[in-house]
Amino acid sequence: MSPLLVPRMEVHKQLVNQGAEADLNQALDLLSEVKAGRQDAMLRLYRPEPTVAFGQRDTKLPGFAAAEQASRINGYVPAVRRAGGRAAAYHQGTLIVDHIQRQDDAIAGAKARFGFFGELFAQALQSLGVDAGVGEIPGEYCPGAYSVYGRSATASIKLVGTAQRVVSGAWLFSSVIVVENSAPIRQVLLDSYAALGLEWDPATAGAAEDLLPGLTVDDVEAAILAAYRDHTHLIGG
Q: What is the pTM of this model?
A: 0.95
Q: Could you give the CA distance from residue 156 to residue 205 in angstroms, rounded to a whole number?
A: 9
Per-position b or e across 35-63, b if 16+ CB within 10 A of its CB: beeebebbbbbbbbbbbbbbbeebeebeb
**Residue pLDDT, tens place only, 18-59:** 888 899 899 999 999 999 999 999 999 999 999 999 999 999
Give the count of domains, the chain.
Answer: 1
Range of the structural domain that residue 15 is part of? 8-235
In a domain, 130, yes or no: yes
C-alpha distances (whole Å) from 93 to each of 123, 139, 158, 159, 209 are 20, 23, 15, 12, 10
Residue type, 204: T
**Residue pLDDT, tens place only, 88-139:** 999 999 999 999 999 999 998 899 999 999 999 999 999 999 999 999 999 9
Could you list the beta-strand ranges (E) of the chain: 8-14, 42-46, 51-54, 77-80, 88-90, 94-102, 132-134, 148-151, 156-167, 170-178, 233-235
Q: Are 98 and 30 spatial neighbours (Cβ–Cβ below 8 Å)?
A: yes
CATH of the domain at 215: 3.30.930.10
In a domain, 129, yes or no: yes
In a domain, 2, yes or no: no
In a domain, 1, yes or no: no
- The rounded percent of the chain whose pLDDT value lies above 70 is 99
In a domain, 30, yes or no: yes
